[in-house]
Structure 1
């Protein structure tokens, strides 16, 4: 495999890891499932990660075609995605959660909401998946889906051992990890904005 592809895979994985931020999300999962027995926690962990994967796969495979249908250009997608990712990163740098971590209201399956959406897959994750897949065609989609699948597997095991993970990391550790991921996301967001802006300028000069 070409070293450039290895580099892209690592970049995609780190992008997804930063925006999904599985360690703090594990703490959220532990809190939401603290009164649920082990078997039910296992079911919720499986269902939420599978749903999240399906959402990312859908937008990675069909997002570009959907945007073509709506007349949305790749530079617009990159700029919008960059703004969303930057905002999420900025919020995390300031110690805020990247998603709406609402408690279950009792009327919905928490594996679907809020755990799968929006905790595991929010607007920033969708925009990131579409940016990666749209920029490199079918190969980009395959790389995005495979790297998110790997992240989903890691998240699943974090959920299964959520109590132990939270105990080991501790409150200060969670804060440091969240802010570090926020910095990475902010940089990724700025890079997407630069790439989108450059494409807009290039298209304008070509006219």
Structure 2
């Protein structure tokens, strides 16, 4: 029992360090800056739910999926890195799709566009990125049914914490105002681009090591 508790704490802290919901909250605020409160809550809920499903699937059968489709972890890192860099660059340039959408989209179309952010980049690759997936696969592979269950439950707890941080972050929008939030959005765009570049570099390094060593 003591070993399982220690394993659970280790898994949770490992997930927390990699996913880092505190650092992701400003990124969430930047990505949903043009959405209303209800839509932002929907984006938060959908993003953590999708991230949970992705990580659960890979925790249970990640190696099978990778082998079935011939996918490598470094390919996932490279692809995810490129996507995050592109999104971060757009945020850095002040290109917020929701702001521009107000002029040419209906309310329903605006909401659908905002909810699309929950899938990419929030759920994948920011929350359930290559590092998180690899961590889930590693933790789940160390034992049997109990270890897999602990891995899934630990990530579920982290998703709940992330959701609460995302939703409570909405209060910052009212407190800071539009101009300050615009600055934060650009800062988070830079950070997001750097995160994407780091993912890309790690993916290329892993690919080089796997192919030429």
Once the 2 structures are TM-superposed, how far is the Cα of residue 14 of structure 1 from its aligned partner? 4.9
User: What is the aligned partner in structure 2 of residue 60 from structure 1?
Assistant: 59
Q: Structure 2: 5+ residue runs without aligned partners?
A: 1-5
Partner of 2:19: 16
Residues 1:199 and 2:210 aligned together: yes
Q: Does 1:178 align with 2:177?
A: no
Q: Please, what TM-score do these two structures have when normalized by structure 2? A: 0.60
Calculate the aligned-residue CA RMSD, in Å.
4.3
Among 190, 199, 203, the alignment partner of 1:188 is 199
1:146 and 2:148 correspond: no
Deviation at 1:69, TM superposition (A): 3.0
Contact 2:60 2:140 in 1 (8 A): no
Measured in 1, the distance between the counterparts of 2:91 and 2:40 equals 26
Q: Where in structure 2 are the equivalents of 1:1-80 lying within 5 Å?
A: 9=13, 13-17=16-20, 21-29=24-32, 31-34=34-37, 36=38, 45-46=44-45, 48-70=47-69, 72=70, 76-80=71-75
Structure 1 runs not aligned, ≥5 long: 203-207
Residues matched between the structures, number: 187
1:117 pairs, out of 119, 124, 131, with 119
Distance in 1, matches of 2:110 and 2:60, equals: 28
Q: Does 1:133 align with 2:128?
A: no
